[in-house]
Structure 1
Amino acid sequence: MQVLLRLIPLLLICLSSFVGRAADYKPSGTLQGYVLDRNKQPAEGITVSLIGTVRQVSTGPDGSYLFKNLSPGRYVLIVTGVGLQTQEQSAEVTSGQATSLNITISESVQELQEVKVVASTGLHEREVLPEVGQNAIYAGKKTEVVNLGALDANLITNNSRQVFSKTPGVMVWESEGSGMQVGVAVRGLSPNRSWEFNVRQNGVDISSDPFGYPEAYYNPPMQAVDRIELIRGGASLQYGPQFGGLLNYVLKKPATDKPIAVESQQSVGSYGLFSTYNSVGGSAGRWQYFGYVDYRRADGWRDNSRYSIFNGFASVSYLVSNRLKIGAEVSRAYSVNQQPGGLTDAQFAQNARQSARTRNWFNVPWTVPSVTVDYALSDRTRLNLKVHGLFSERNQIGFVSAITNADVPNAGGQLANRTIDRDTYRNWGSELRLISQYNALGRQHTLSAGVKYFNGFTDRRQQGKGDTGSDFNLTLQDAAYPRALALRTTNVAAFAENLFRLSPRWTLTPGVRIEMLDNSVAGRYSFAANGIENQVDQSRSRAFALFGVGTEYKLATFATFYGNYSQAYRPVTFGDLTPAALTDFVIDPNLQDARGYTIDAGFRGAYRKFLNFDLGAYYLSYDNRIGTLTRLDASNRPYQYRTNLGRSVSKGVEAYVEIDPVVALAGRSKVGYVSLFASLGFTDARYLNLPTATVANGQLVEGNLQDKQVENAPRFIGRFGLNYTYRTFTLTALLNRVGSAYSDANNTETATANAQTGPIPAYQVMDLSASLRLAGRYSFKAGINNLTDERYFTRRAGGYPGPGILPADARNFYVTVGVKL
């Protein structure tokens, strides 16, 4: 661990020397030109890079690109794009002169590029990551890229079922309509605030604590997101432990062809919805900058569900030299949400819009700063360093009893005091990545390696006595919180993956990740009746390795087989180390992290201009699951024992197919283009072993939930859609169908009186969205969500923000007017 920790300051020292050497650098040339298709038409959105540097731009609407401040010499330009074949050309830059170089895209790339034009809201919405990215290897992994700029969806409230409509098997929790928190999962895992994913923004962790409390209480506004990168299963070696994989929000970038570019979107909608998104960015000399402010508020569909959310972001970067670039950014979010609470099954059937809680509030201030350094060591080797922090809070106040306990005045006319819970997070970390290409045995291979350090501290204060009012405030009525815990995490990890090109079509990528992890819980658990503090002190330290291997074979230019095996783990969390009650509760001193692995196999590709597909199967083994058993002590008294006790297995099929029949049959059309798609997920998630125990008549009665379905894991998730495009007008219709599931491992068929356990019925929802662009700068968007006004729910909550059934939103609409300058 000591050696790994020394690597980061050593790198900073080296980089400082690079900066010093760059001080004498005096750029004097310009390289510019156009990227054109076969018909000499501009190709917009193509990435143009200079090999051996950190310089990279995207072509504008006229196909132009521009590199300023280049030292004299020979440069090699590489033209790339997701799903495109790469193309290289060289140019000589002369001091004090502008060198022009126009690049014509080859026939094969032109055909794919044309798809982006004629079906930009259809086939271009979903893509896959390249074999090798800027600082990671993706070959052999199941990857998806959601391009939000080409998507017809309600981005105002982060409507996840629309955003992930072409990402098969994604389960979405729709428990509140603000979009402040995105709860998604795959492969039978829990969608609880996306905690089975390693959630990042621009490659930086944004969850509370990825190891001790991996819940994502913040996500960026989708209007500010350029694309979402999702890597399943095989992401665990390069990015961290979570079984679900990586979920990375990549924000929009500054304009590279002008000093000031402005975007503004103003929206209104149902239930008092108002949203304003405004951004500005650009490039001036060696500087680039970008920032946005986003604010939305609404009364909410349910009673007592109003909210207001602010998001802000600012970034700046400086090109020290062609090989060195330094950037800094900060995200800030602040939200206040009134929580309407849960419902019983009878209340839901009577009126799903009603609310029995008027005094519950939730508040999340969230700040994420980071600094990034990119350095090109050579034409084939790049370094990327990210140093990041998180300074945030999770605050709630309310009456949190079961929904069967009414929040009404007592005999004296007084309401009960509300309960206050507060978390404060202070995290920081760094991640150094290297990616290098090298030649061996006549072929070019790629190495990706890195080290990561994370230090997290959570100050948890719970069960505080709040006031008897109904507004949002965090004023404590007593001097102290009954529960006050200090929660700490330290993680050091190192990883390496190597892509070996066994042939022009076949790659093999083995990898390893070394984990060293410490987490602890210490402090006051509660006050005893005599006022004495009850203390808790638990900690875990361990080190281990994860292994994996991926492979990819290009059957043809339009089709690829891929597969991988990757180990993963879910760390012992703070909740696992905290007793549910002070007495009669024991935590296994040998408690271990949950461990397991994922196997993927699939076939994906794109045929000509009209067909995209990705057909895959998976097997996920989730071992050493942590749970609680009843046990009898030496005096034959029952107590609760938390330990590793179970194993579950998820297996299934994920399929995505999209076709444009107009292009397939006619090639071109004067009346527009149509794409039809189906995104299907079939999951069988079951417990192979999950012991249970109860006490009856002083005797321990043991059982096993073997073959029971895993909770919150519907067997079928299907999304079916139609995209219609005519010039700059698009229309998207989406049908979302989700099968039934259980809310508990016992697979309870009859809902309990408090509605916290029971079945989650199957449902289907329809959405309709449209957009129109005018004069290249004005846009109009509108949509109706839940077109048929279905009543359904996706979650039964055992605690906050319930307890009970949390209904999904009924029919609602939105309208957006936008401009880009």
Structure 2
Amino acid sequence: MRMYFLLMSLFLMLSVPGFAQKNVLKGKIVDENQLPVQGASVALVGTVRGVQSDLKGNYELKDFPKGTYKLQISLVGFETLVQEFFIESEESKELNFIMKEQAYMLDEFRLSASRGIAGHSHLAEVEDFRINAGKKNEVIKISELNANLAMNNSRQIFAKTPGITIWENDGSGIQLGVASRGLSPNRSWEFNVRMNGYDITPDPMGYPEAYFTPPMEVVEQIEIVRGASSLQYGSQFGGLMNFVIRRPDKSTRFTAETINTVGSNGLFSSFNYVGGTEGKWNYAAYYQKRVGNGWRENGYFNTDHAHMEVNYAASNRLKLGMEMTYMTTESQQPGGLTDAQFAEDSRQSTRARNWFSTPWFIPSFSAEYLVSPKTKLSWKAFGTFAERNSVGFMRPINVEDDLGNRQVDRDYYTTYGSEIRLSSSYQLFGKEQTLVSGLRYFNGHIDRKQLGVGTSGRDMDFSVAAGDYRRDLDFSNINLAAFVENVFRFSDKFLVTGGVRVENIRSIMEGQFNIVNGNPQLLDQISRTRSFAIFGVGAEYHVTKNSEFYANFSQAYRPVLISDLTPPATTDVIDENLSDSRGHNIDFGYRGSLASYLKFDLGYFHLNYADRIGTIAQARPDGSIYQFRTNLGNSVSRGFEGYIEFDPVTAFFGSSNVGYVHLFTSLAFIDATYGDFEVTSVSNGQITTRNLKGNQVENAPRKINRYGATYNLGKFSMTWQMSDIGKAYSDASNTEVANAAATVGAIPAYRVQDLSASWNIWKQHSLKAGVNNLTDERYFTRRAGGYPGPGIMPADGRTFYMTFALKF
């Protein structure tokens, strides 16, 4: 933490010389009624320089070379303005603008300002060095939501994103567990999880769990691209989930904001943000403190998040940036419950000595360079220096804690990588085409220490009393990848995308597996290198100006994970030909809007997940039986995903003096089943074989439906929503009746409701409040086989929160 603040101070001191004024372009932007226009983009065309108009419509650009420029003024709902001007060195020039509203955008612009229907959209066809055309994607605009952002309430945040499965077992909001299309929500590991476009996981190739989630108060939007993201981002069947952090304020030299939340079970959260723009420099920083006792017994949490960002326009063509993020956590884990305990009292806990902590440091550096008006380059360098620490009594939940020495497990992550992208536009068929290409290098190392003999105390203490860890393993993953993708526009209505990604992955594992009778058991070094290519093609056809058909086919893969290379016992055997899982995603849908009162995205998907890895029993020539881990079979997920949002007041009456109502529904019907997938069991020394074909994939409910309504009246807004989730299974055998340890068994269907409201008291201040789990439903979404269980992991019951925000 000390290093973080030293670096922050250093960069802020270095930025001071940049505040010296050279030349100034300033002015005021108003509408046709002479009212100030806030948030208009003011950009020097062909450069990296730009600002935004402030609350009074004023803007100011400083310190750029003398010359002739084109100034572009743009904002949704208004006609774009472009004016040419010349400026001398050290000259102060004033240019004022009157923006005209676009008639066909008036209703949509009004709705955008009133919350609700503008909170969910999709990405532009091409932006930020990436191609999104022809891909199933969603954008969740956090500022438009009425939700418990202090606790990162995921079912509220992802309510309008169809097909998202959520594990609701972490009431602290520290970690997010989401997935889509029948994939596992385990710490979001089927998604390629990024922040501002760079990796924030320990190792997205070999250990992709997302232990870090940024505070939602600072997240501007969450971008989700389903499996079709594999060409540009690689690796995951589930696609991309990118947290876009609020960028530095371009409308003022300095702004500050504080958001403070109190709630049930001792919840207190304080989020504090500063940012601004001065000449060639802009900056932002935030700090969040969140503490609480949790809804269950033994559920205490204490987290600190800190982040800073500094950008510098080194020239009209070159922009440099730096970001640093730091997190510390102290989280008590209540553990799991048996089915009987859950039925008796789902708030109880039989584990008072289990703790979890994930110190996380993520630095990144970036550069953008405009090679020409049609070609630009982006470079990002990033790293993760982090830990995953746990201590506790880890026997089955139906075994009473003996109050003896606890088990300590610790992971140390050291990763670094770099990604360079080129975006270029050119003319073909009389239309502008776009080519995006990229080159990526990633190096991840994990030092895993497990089965340490810890203390017999009750506090968060990761010291090992007996000295060494019984298990000490080293994992490394080195990845080199290149991709190219192109948008071919054949007309104003029809376009096709196509591309290829080439991957080279090298995985290495070595170390000590265990100590038996004082003798270390060492594993032979496992080293695997493979190279391959994946392909994808997509298309869009614009039926109307605001609606389009889209279709996509993209191949995907999942590398062999470190857990796949680690045998549960030294007698187990890993297939030397164990291969990566391969498959593909298919999407076909229709999305868009009708006038300003109806927004929709309806689609069919097909996900083929081949060469899934599993373990079967086999017999040696001497009759002895061993467990063999290999590629066993495949699974297929197919179904419908639909999102519709409707404003009946605007549709039938046009305008209203008593407010607006937005109704939404997010529906997903998922058939995720196993194909040919052979498994075995051993009874009385005999191997019994069966097939999982037709079984429902674990943690994949067939029904994921969410509904909601938002009422807006002036500065007041209220949202009700309900999640209606179907039954799921915790294991591939689809076990109905739970075992004694509650690690396998059915996960019943459930319904849960939330109610939230906000009131903007003044322009810069707001009050929010809400009730999560309005009817106090008792339900669970997960049966854990190990940490943080084992056993049933109850979701939170009814809780309350209230938030007060001030902006200066």
Q: TM-score, normalised by structure 1?
A: 0.93
**1:110 aligned onto 2:105:** yes
Please tell me whether the aligned partners of residues 312 and 321 of structure 2 are also in contact (alpha carbons under 8 angstroms). Answer: yes
Aligned twin of 1:263: 257
Please tell me whether the aligned partners of residues 396 and 790 of structure 2 are also in contact (alpha carbons under 8 angstroms). Answer: yes
Aligned twin of 1:98: 93
Measured against aligned partners, the alpha-carbon deviations of 1:796-817 in whole angstroms (never above 9, x if no partner) come to 0000000000000010000111
- For 2:718 and 2:667, how far apart are their aligned partners in 1? 22
Question: Residues 800 and 582 of structure 1: is their aligned pair in 2 closer, same or farther, counting only changes over 3 Å?
Answer: same
Question: Residues 623 and 780 of structure 1: is their aligned pair in 2 closer, same or farther, counting only changes over 3 Å?
Answer: same
Aligned length: 789
**1:564 aligned onto 2:557:** no
Aligned twin of 1:373: 367
**1:665 aligned onto 2:665:** no
- For 1:422 and 1:86, how far apart are their aligned partners in 2? 57
Please tell me whether the aligned partners of residues 429 and 490 of structure 2 are also in contact (alpha carbons under 8 angstroms). Answer: no
Please tell me whether the aligned partners of residues 54 and 252 of structure 2 are also in contact (alpha carbons under 8 angstroms). Answer: no
Please tell me whether the aligned partners of residues 541 and 548 of structure 2 are also in contact (alpha carbons under 8 angstroms). Answer: yes
Measured against aligned partners, the alpha-carbon deviations of 1:517-560 in whole angstroms (never above 9, x if no partner) come to 01111000111324243334212110000100111111111211
Aligned twin of 1:314: 308
**1:68 aligned onto 2:56:** no
Measured against aligned partners, the alpha-carbon deviations of 1:17-54 in whole angstroms (never above 9, x if no partner) come to xxxxxx99x99654445555566654444444333212
**Residue 182 (structure 1) aligned to one of 176, 180, 183:** 176
Name whichever of 803-812 and 667-676 sits farther off: 667-676
**Residue 799 (structure 1) aligned to one of 783, 786, 792:** 786
Please tell me whether the aligned partners of residues 37 and 110 of structure 1 are also in contact (alpha carbons under 8 angstroms). Answer: no
**Residue 187 of structure 1: CA displacement?**
0.4
**1:620 aligned onto 2:607:** yes
Aligned twin of 2:282: 288
Name whichever of 254-263 and 332-341 sits farther off: 254-263
**Residue 136 (structure 1) aligned to one of 130, 134, 137:** 130
**1:526 aligned onto 2:514:** yes
Aligned twin of 2:567: 579
- For 1:524 and 1:406, how far apart are their aligned partners in 2? 30
**Residue 64 of structure 1: CA displacement?**
4.3
Question: Residues 679 and 140 of structure 1: is their aligned pair in 2 closer, same or farther, counting only changes over 3 Å?
Answer: same
Matched letter for residue 671 of structure 2: D
**1:503 aligned onto 2:491:** yes
Aligned twin of 2:4: none
**Residue 774 (structure 2) aligned to one of 765, 787, 793:** 787
**Residue 440 of structure 1: CA displacement?**
1.9
**Residue 286 of structure 1: CA displacement?**
1.2
Give the secondary-structure state (helix, strand or coil) at the position aligned to 2:117: coil
How large is the RMSD of aligned CA atoms in angstroms? 1.9
Name whichever of 280-289 and 265-274 sits farther off: 280-289
Give the secondary-structure state (helix, strand or coil) at the position aligned to 2:54: coil
Matched letter for residue 494 of structure 2: W
Measured against aligned partners, the alpha-carbon deviations of 1:394-434 in whole angstroms (never above 9, x if no partner) come to 000000010111103xxxxxx22100000000100000011
- For 2:705 and 2:29, how far apart are their aligned partners in 1? 39
Please tell me whether the aligned partners of residues 782 and 816 of structure 1 are also in contact (alpha carbons under 8 angstroms). Answer: yes
**Residue 58 of structure 1: CA displacement?**
3.5
**Residue 418 (structure 1) aligned to one of 381, 402, 406:** 406
**Residue 529 (structure 2) aligned to one of 531, 538, 541:** 541
Give the secondary-structure state (helix, strand or coil) at the position aligned to 1:235: helix
Aligned twin of 2:13: none
- For 1:676 and 1:624, how far apart are their aligned partners in 2? 42
Aligned twin of 2:401: 407
Question: Residues 445 and 41 of structure 1: is their aligned pair in 2 closer, same or farther, counting only changes over 3 Å?
Answer: farther
Aligned twin of 1:458: 446
Please tell me whether the aligned partners of residues 35 and 105 of structure 1 are also in contact (alpha carbons under 8 angstroms). Answer: no
Aligned twin of 1:765: 752
Matched letter for residue 802 of structure 1: G
Give the secondary-structure state (helix, strand or coil) at the position aligned to 2:776: coil
- For 1:418 and 1:86, how far apart are their aligned partners in 2? 66
Matched letter for residue 517 of structure 2: A
Please tell me whether the aligned partners of residues 728 and 773 of structure 1 are also in contact (alpha carbons under 8 angstroms). Answer: yes
- For 1:41 and 1:554, how far apart are their aligned partners in 2? 36
Give the secondary-structure state (helix, strand or coil) at the position aligned to 1:753: coil
Please tell me whether the aligned partners of residues 589 and 601 of structure 2 are also in contact (alpha carbons under 8 angstroms). Answer: yes
**1:199 aligned onto 2:187:** no
Please tell me whether the aligned partners of residues 742 and 791 of structure 2 are also in contact (alpha carbons under 8 angstroms). Answer: yes
- For 1:791 and 1:85, how far apart are their aligned partners in 2? 49
Aligned twin of 1:467: 455
Please tell me whether the aligned partners of residues 717 and 738 of structure 1 are also in contact (alpha carbons under 8 angstroms). Answer: yes
Aligned twin of 2:9: none
**1:214 aligned onto 2:201:** no
**Residue 750 of structure 1: CA displacement?**
0.7
Please tell me whether the aligned partners of residues 636 and 698 of structure 1 are also in contact (alpha carbons under 8 angstroms). Answer: no
Aligned twin of 2:465: 477
Matched letter for residue 548 of structure 1: G
Question: Residues 112 and 425 of structure 1: is their aligned pair in 2 closer, same or farther, counting only changes over 3 Å?
Answer: farther
Aligned twin of 1:254: 248
Aligned twin of 2:8: none
Aligned twin of 2:737: 750
Matched letter for residue 427 of structure 1: T
Please tell me whether the aligned partners of residues 325 and 375 of structure 1 are also in contact (alpha carbons under 8 angstroms). Answer: yes
**Residue 609 of structure 1: CA displacement?**
1.8
Q: TM-score, normalised by structure 2?
A: 0.95
Question: Residues 109 and 288 of structure 1: is their aligned pair in 2 closer, same or farther, counting only changes over 3 Å?
Answer: farther
**Residue 691 (structure 1) aligned to one of 669, 678, 685:** 678
- For 2:750 and 2:243, how far apart are their aligned partners in 1? 28
Please tell me whether the aligned partners of residues 616 and 655 of structure 1 are also in contact (alpha carbons under 8 angstroms). Answer: yes
**1:164 aligned onto 2:158:** yes
User: Tell me, which stretches of 5 or more residues in structure 1 are unaligned?
Assistant: 1-22, 409-414
Aligned twin of 2:698: 711
Measured against aligned partners, the alpha-carbon deviations of 1:481-512 in whole angstroms (never above 9, x if no partner) come to 01001110100000111011111111111011
Aligned twin of 2:416: 428
- For 1:595 and 1:293, how far apart are their aligned partners in 2? 41
Please tell me whether the aligned partners of residues 765 and 787 of structure 1 are also in contact (alpha carbons under 8 angstroms). Answer: yes
- For 2:21 and 2:261, how far apart are their aligned partners in 1? 44
Aligned twin of 2:353: 359
Matched letter for residue 528 of structure 1: V
Measured against aligned partners, the alpha-carbon deviations of 1:606-639 in whole angstroms (never above 9, x if no partner) come to 2222111111110000000011111111111110
Please tell me whether the aligned partners of residues 462 and 484 of structure 1 are also in contact (alpha carbons under 8 angstroms). Answer: yes
**1:595 aligned onto 2:579:** no
Aligned twin of 1:634: 621
